[in-house]
Amino acid sequence: MFSQKFSSIVLGRHHLKPASARSLARWAAAGSGSSRTNVCRQRTRRLQSSSALLHPGARSASNTTVDPGEVRRFQLLANKWWDEQGEFAALHAMNDLRVPFVRDNLLNVHRAHHPGKPLAGLRILDVGCGGGLLTEPLGRLGADMLGVDPVEESVSVARLHSSQDPDLRDQVSYRACTLEELSEEEEEQQRAAQFDAVVASEVVEHLADLETFAISCNHVLKPGGSVFITTINKTNLSYVLGIVVAEQLLRIVPRGTHDWEKFISPEELERLLESNGFSVQSVQGMLYNPVSGAWSWTDSTSINYALHAVKRSDSPEDGSLFPEDRAEATNG
Ligand SMILES: C[S@@+](CC[C@H](N)C(=O)[O-])C[C@H]1O[C@@H](n2cnc3c(N)ncnc32)[C@H](O)[C@@H]1O
């Protein structure tokens, strides 16, 4: 099966399953037990129908980003987060690029007032924080960090690890939940958006529904807030290097970590963000050298890339793209 898939990808004969059918099936399987407010249910129904009209064939909104298979996979790896030579070594090394990427782009917008703590005063949400590999260094730069992940075991590891550093005690906190649950909490409590930035590094390729992710990002961000994403492009090269070489041959990441069908091109991600109230500022290619174990920036986005977008000023303040929801929010 593996060689059949490999040859069909290399020869360009890979056929994708309809993404919308997959998302809806996952929604039926995963979302049935969760309680939603009527407003949220109505909003979701409107979102599903408008999304289908606006983006025929696009990924559909299923109201949950959670793919239960992904959660199970990361549950089994939860005790590996802080092994710098282990399964997550490439994520540890990626901090050399992604921490300055987030810091410098935020400093372009927010001037630093605290020497040594350039991100002081900024509240950042790390979505899919895992063991806190990126949450911690951003906290050390002074940001007020909240890390969220649906895998409770990972959140426990992240809490325990950060509690060992007194400098992080007031900087970093964690919750076992999803972005959309946070967003719905804000909506239910009618709280103003609280985050200056959302970071989702190596996460979107594990989500069941990217439209729900984009809408929820918009909702939790202050006007002008930033979203930072690193992920894997959907190319033949990313299949060969990201799955065949990295997972099957060199075992840089555990086998089965990635599903090529969930990879997304920078163009598709840009379209998704632009149609959900964001303006994409930059997209940069990233390259991993398996021999040195180091990442570097590259002009090519054909495998890994980092993206920075900001919430547009014409984006509705309550994050809703539907006038009737904004009216409901205003009228209480
Ligand atoms: C490859 S890891 C990246 C972890 C972390 N961002 C880092 O770079 O160190 C992907 C993470 O996404 C999390 N994840 C999976 N589904 C998610 C969802 N629906 N919402 C948020 N995080 C999710 C996994 O539990 C895992 O921690």
For residue 230, give the ligand 1 atom closest to its CA.
Answer: 8
Supply the mean pLDDT for the chain.
80
pLDDT in tens, 38-66: 333 344 443 343 343 333 333 444 689 99
- The mean pLDDT of 31-38, rounded to a whole number, is 32
Compute the residue count for the chain: 332
Contact predicate 313/248, CB 8 Å: no
CATH dotted code for 72-331 = 3.40.50.150
Phi/psi of residue 8, nearest 5 degrees = -70, -35
pLDDT value of position 238? 83
Q: Rounded CA gap, 315 and 321, in Å?
A: 8
Higher pLDDT, 243 or 161: 161
For residue 131, give the ligand 1 atom closest to its CA.
Answer: 9
Is 37 a residue whose pLDDT tops 50? no
Residue of 97, 96, 240, 91 whose CA lies nearest to 154: 91
Contact predicate 76/70, CB 8 Å: no
Q: Rounded CA gap, 11 and 177, in Å?
A: 40
- Cβ < 6 Å from ligand 1: which residues? 65-66, 70, 74, 91, 127-130, 133-134, 149-151, 154, 178, 201-203, 206-207
Grade residue 332 by pLDDT with cuts at 50, 70 and 90: very low
Is 77 a residue whose pLDDT tops 50? yes
Grade residue 225 by pLDDT with cuts at 50, 70 and 90: very high
Residue of 143, 148, 140, 97 whose CA lies nearest to 122: 143
Strands of 144-148's sheet in order across: 172-175, 144-148, 123-127, 195-201, 221-232, 304-311, 278-289, 294-298
Is 30 a residue whose pLDDT tops 50? no
119-123, 185-189, 210-214, 314-318: lowest mean pLDDT where?
314-318
Ligand 1: residue whose CA is nearest its atom 12: 128
As a dihedral over the C-alpha atoms of residue 150, residue 154, residue 157, residue 161, rounded to 10 degrees, the angle is -80
Rounded to the nearest angstrom, the gap between the alpha carbon of residue 53 and the centroid of all alpha carbons in its chain is 25
Residue of 134, 140, 132 whose CA lies nearest to 161: 132
Q: Rounded CA gap, 312 and 291, in Å?
A: 41
Grade residue 326 by pLDDT with cuts at 50, 70 and 90: very low
CA of 314 to the centre of ligand 1 (A): 30
Token code pair at residue 166? 């007194």
3-17, 49-63, 248-262, 277-291: lowest mean pLDDT where?
3-17
Q: Where are the domains of the chain?
A: 72-331
Is 6 a residue whose pLDDT tops 70? no
Token code pair at residue 23? 């998302």
Is 330 a residue whose pLDDT tops 80? no
Grade residue 179 by pLDDT with cuts at 50, 70 and 90: very high
Contact predicate 202/175, CB 8 Å: no
CA of 205 to the centre of ligand 1 (A): 9
pLDDT in tens, 157-167: 999 999 999 99
Grade residue 33 by pLDDT with cuts at 50, 70 and 90: very low
Where does the chain have alpha helices with state H? 2-10, 19-30, 38-54, 68-75, 89-109, 135-140, 152-163, 179-188, 210-220, 236-238, 266-274, 323-331
Angle at 275 between CA 307 and CA 182, to 5 degrees: 75
